[in-house]
Amino acid sequence: MSARSTFEQAWRYAAVGIGSNIALYAAYLLLTHWGLASKLAMTALYWLAVALTFVFNKRWSFGSGGPPKVQFRRYLLAYALGYAVNLSALFLLVDVFGQPHQVAQGILILAIAALLFLLQKFWVFRTERPPANAPVPTQ
């Protein structure tokens, strides 16, 4: 895959991510302002984001025509890893080091987004290439 297509994928992925994360971060701040615990708010909104972004990332960001069931399973696993990293880091930054949860979660959004882009590009929506010795189809 060329650097140009990776750049285009990154911009599309960023557009999906920015749109969904602005809305979901605003919801996070509102829910925590209303008294919902930060980790519970993050958990609920995280899985909502997974459900909302799969189709956009599959079709628009990565232009993948691969098998949806396999890709959705991989997508869920990638986001489960992202969730575990997010929850662990939020615990360390807020509960152990005493950082404000608003700032910690804001920074974590960016770090987790980068991790998830790489997982989606190279694992979830990767383009399957035929083996080097596979016969070339004729028309």
Phi-psi region of 130 (alpha: psi -120 to 50; beta: other; left: phi over 0): beta
Residue 131 in any domain: the answer is no
Residue 132 in any domain: the answer is no
State the average pLDDT for the chain: 89
Joined together, the tokens standing for residue 6 give 């990776």
> Alpha helix (H) ranges present in the chain?
3-33, 38-56, 68-90, 101-119
Task: Output the pTM of the full model.
Answer: 0.75
The CA distance from 49 to 21, in Å, is 8
Question: In total, how many domains does the chain have?
Answer: 1
Residue 133 in any domain: the answer is no
Report which of residues 81 and 127 the model is more confident about.
81
Measured in degrees and rounded to the nearest 5, phi and psi for residue 37 equal -60, 140
pLDDT tens-digit series, residues 106-126: 899 889 999 999 999 999 998
Among 112, 110, 58, 52, CA closest to 83: 112
pLDDT tens-digit series, residues 86-112: 999 999 999 999 999 999 998 998 899
Residue 80 in any domain: the answer is yes
Identify the domain containing residue 63 by its residue range.
3-124
Question: Is residue 59 pLDDT above 70, yes or no?
Answer: yes
Residue 10 in any domain: the answer is yes
User: For the chain, what percent of residues have pLDDT higher than 70?
Assistant: 91
Question: Is residue 137 pLDDT above 80, yes or no?
Answer: no
Residue 48 in any domain: the answer is yes
pLDDT tens-digit series, residues 9-41: 999 999 998 998 899 889 999 999 999 999 899
Residue 55 in any domain: the answer is yes
Residue 134 in any domain: the answer is no
Joined together, the tokens standing for residue 11 give 């911009």
The CA distance from 93 to 83, in Å, is 15
